[in-house]
Structure 1
């Protein structure tokens, strides 16, 4: 159990947690302060004790058993604690699935609150078309594997830690670049859709699912005239109005998506033209469009392709009905 040591005069506290040195001898300070490791710690598991070296010093010192010390420099703010990188190699696929099951049972909000994690900002595990906070899943999976359920302060998330660990176990972790709010799959979750009479249209997702499932045969950008009839038939069961959906609408409406590339003739200002004008031009000028290169590249990975398909199928089911989504997938695969 963590122990807390307080220096009353300065009003600072330092929380020390059990340190597992089996895989990583690096100590991490949970607050943004400079650190100086002045000893080589060779114990596998040991407890740390802490005290302030001098009441007159502005550089408090945490002392660790075996006379190894950690100097905290320029600590002008409250010291929250000291932790280590957890050995994520203990995690297995079954323990990740157990963590996912707990998440599904409790729901995201209760799961994160109970286990002491914040909502993911960029990295998300994708499993069977649903998104999970990857760091929280990894921490809970570590608990199922070892008996020690890590909280968020005990290890860092991100590409080189949680993402690599979960990917090595056959899972898909969706993420974007630095400061991104998610990757290509999360873009599907946040895609804006057309609404009418309080209902939301699945048109964009129907077109994307068609393109994903037929990615091997739809090489490059396709002229609208070559796929117009096929798309019209696929979209008809998802109509929001009595009239059938116009396949040119999602064809051009997807132009702002990371999933889609729309080839517009020179001289056409997309922003100035607006959707209705572009939709008419798509028919008259036979606009070419298709999946973006970044999506095509990721579709080469079987696991990612499967999750992309399942995310799209789920989105269609949410906006229409599970039965219609199922029938569409079945029709596209025949």
Structure 2
């Protein structure tokens, strides 16, 4: 019998993998990939957290000159493939499992971070905010509205990224369809005002996502592909006129893919858009449902015991506690995350969080 006390620590099948527990490390941007190159410091960071049921890497660029953060990693060159092998080898040596989150920033990629290259999006609508650039904080630029042929090229970039991830030794990939980046920009009607086959109806707005899913699952096999969605998150100037209707449509659509999991963010970072999307998805979606955003271990265990979800992803809790699983088992206190070092370039606040045993 699964009880709330042990639910989070029970094993579970996720696609082609069996996880020793239902604790997942959420993807977290950490900007340690200097020059977009994965490195040994990153390998140490991920392998420290290998007792987690599944690790999901930070968002990783599928093509050059699409950076949103400056030192975000890529998976589009042979050098990056070799760099990521440091991480996959270290995680597997520590008996862990790791998916890479593959990503295109779309209109969130500022030209000053990308050699002057114009940002792209479904429609020529900019993010209403500023971002950090080499020249200081600057407003986001109005993106170029993608042509159909350009969309097909980006789909092929996702396909190649999956091939590269496979070569780098990842156990699978998570497609980033959340938080106001390119796939999410197509999905939600505040950013997508197209009148062609990629805009308007739920089906049309989901077309780019389905083409990416088709490409990536063909490479990896569906049991090694996950998808992250954030139907409520207003980050990056995002909104939808019917977020519950949209995510229910997507959940039904995804039933046809037999994915490893659907990773659902339950809330809005800023509390602007509010709805109860987890039950709406659970009612429709027949696969493994992973949930995220603000869960304590106690609430997560109860959610799993009540069969509201199958696994729970934790972000800053695992960031600050490489032995998060062991602390949950022991009922121990947790290190507090140091926000001042979330995006700094070295090991401080990255690989130096103390273990419970220390």
Which entry has the higher C-alpha Rg, 1 or 2?
A: 1
Q: What is the TM-score normalised by the length of structure 2?
A: 0.25
The structure where helix makes up a greater share of residues is 1
Name the structure, 1 or 2, with higher relative contact order (CA <8 Å, separation 6+): 2
